Structure 1
Amino acid sequence: MAKEILRLEHIQKRFGDGDSSITILKDISLTLKKGEFIAIVGPSGSGKSTLLSIIGALLSPSSGNVILDQENIAAYKPSKLTSVRKNKIGFIFQSSNLVSYLTVKEQLMLISDISKTGKKENVKKATDLINHLGLSHRSKSYPAKLSGGEKQRVAIARAFMNDPDIVLADEPTASLDSERGKQVVEMISHEVKTRNKAAIMVTHDERILHLCDRVLRIEDGQIFEKI
């Protein structure tokens, strides 16, 4: 039986004070298991990105529990949240956010430098990820020489570089055409399954939802399973 890696319990998020406060998330609960890849959909302003930020330890909830790998990170101080992001979470953004003056391999090695783990081990890990995602011929290339799909593949490799428990993808296909978008999501799914990780993807792209294990919908700050 797959191990539960994430559990959200009655998450609420409010912005502002007193009468001027706005509740973005209302009583959100969900679970995520290792090997599972879920999508979250919903209209603009429904709270998708806010929820992803809370799961990714970028924001703290106003109330509720965020239990990641059996630890409740909801009340962690900023310094401890930084450690959670560094060691337990990988991020893939709408834009690949690559560093213009670093080669493909250097992009990945930057993550290992931040994590301060063994360099020899990480050189091998970076090389394996680059080869696995079909980028070996681009290892020494700079972002300006890469296609949009290649940049997102580098972003996927980078997200898995710190061996995270969870990968969070925010609109990873938004800047890609249909075929490249499908390939990118297939790659995320493949990495999740083969490495026994978990992933959550926020998306507006209905064309790639069939590649996910579950689809959840947020509307008016509440979440439910999409049938």
Structure 2
Amino acid sequence: MGKSILEIKDVSKDFGDGSSTIRVLKNINLTVKQGEFIAIVGPSGSGKSTLLSVIGALLSPTEGEIMIDHEVIQLQSKKRLSQLRAKKIGFIFQAANLIPYLNVSSQLKLVNQIANNSKGTGEKRAQELLSRLDLHQRVNNFPSELSGGEKQRVAIARAFMNDPSIILADEPTASLDSVRGRKVVEMISQEVKSRNKAAIMVTHDERMLDLCDKVYVMKDGCLSQG
């Protein structure tokens, strides 16, 4: 394994509930290195998705420190946080969350524009990804014309588009049958291993865990290695 891509140190997250406060994450510590693909399992409501949101700089931790590529994300300006999300973090959600009025090719080009990458580089990367994910025949199709599996593959291509350091996948196989679901997880694993990335997958699907390097269990806001 190479250098650390993600380091989480004593991270806790509180949410207010009327006059009381609920601690959803409790002293989380985790390191994920280059080439490492980890899974987080646990019951609904245990804090898994909240943890992904905190790692992805969508939520701020109440306590503790999160570093991506040795940058402490809480210390960054709003502008720098947006850049970090655009360039260093790839999100894959349970629902593909594609933009209905953009065709497959434009979904990827939009990501490239947001990150201010060169147009030529972006087009080359988009073609390469769509070919690799067997979507090259679908470049001009809109989301309404795609199957569930195709939509999720477009979402994966979009997550990989800017060559992010870390991929965060929240139940990426939930809307897929077992064969397509396994292919999706294999694609994530291949991207991590071949391009020295890190990935964290939150999942309920234990059939996918053999593709991961480590499995962690989340329970009542606490994370432990399974």
TM-score over 0.5 for the alignment? yes
Q: Runs ≥4 in structure 1, deviation > 2 angstroms? A: 74-80
Question: In the alignment, is the contact (CA less than 8 A) between 2:92 and 2:170 conserved in 1?
Answer: yes
AA aligned opposite 2:38: I
Question: In the alignment, is the contact (CA less than 8 A) between 2:83 and 2:115 conserved in 1?
Answer: no
What aligned pairs does 1:45-60 form with structure 2 within 5 A after superposition? 45-60=45-60
Provide the residue aligned with 2:24 in structure 1: 24
Shift of 1:198: 1.0
Provide the residue aligned with 2:224 in structure 1: 224
Instruction: Write the distance in 1 (CA, Å) between the matches of 2:76 and 2:47.
Output: 22
Q: RMSD of aligned C-alpha atoms?
A: 1.4
Instruction: Write the distance in 1 (CA, Å) between the matches of 2:180 and 2:128.
Output: 22
Instruction: Write the distance in 2 (CA, Å) between the matches of 1:151 and 1:217.
Output: 29
Instruction: Write the distance in 2 (CA, Å) between the matches of 1:74 and 1:41.
Output: 26
Shift of 1:197: 1.0
Provide the residue aligned with 1:124 in structure 2: 124
Provide the residue aligned with 2:64 in structure 1: 64
Provide the residue aligned with 1:186 in structure 2: 186
Aligned residues: 226
Tell me if 1:203 matches 2:189: no
Question: In the alignment, is the contact (CA less than 8 A) between 1:11 and 1:61 conserved in 2?
Answer: yes
Shift of 1:160: 0.8
Shift of 1:194: 1.3
Provide the residue aligned with 1:103 in structure 2: 103
Provide the residue aligned with 1:14 in structure 2: 14
TM-score, length basis structure 1: 0.95
Tell me if 1:145 matches 2:142: no
Provide the residue aligned with 1:86 in structure 2: 86
Q: State the SS of the aligned residue for 2:74.
A: coil
Instruction: Write the distance in 2 (CA, Å) between the matches of 1:137 and 1:204.
Output: 32
Sequence identity, in percent?
Answer: 60
**Over residues 158-186 of structure 1, what are the superposed CA-to-partner deviations in whole Å (9 max), with x where a residue is unaligned?**
00111111010111111111111111111
TM-score, length basis structure 2: 0.96
Shift of 1:36: 0.8
**Over residues 10-64 of structure 1, what are the superposed CA-to-partner deviations in whole Å (9 max), with x where a residue is unaligned?**
0011112896011111110010001111111111111101100010010111110
Question: In the alignment, is the contact (CA less than 8 A) between 1:12 and 1:25 conserved in 2?
Answer: yes
User: Unpaired runs of 5+ in structure 2?
Assistant: none
AA aligned opposite 2:30: L
Instruction: Write the distance in 2 (CA, Å) between the matches of 1:78 and 1:20.
Output: 28
Provide the residue aligned with 1:177 in structure 2: 177
Shift of 1:140: 1.6
Tell me if 1:35 matches 2:49: no
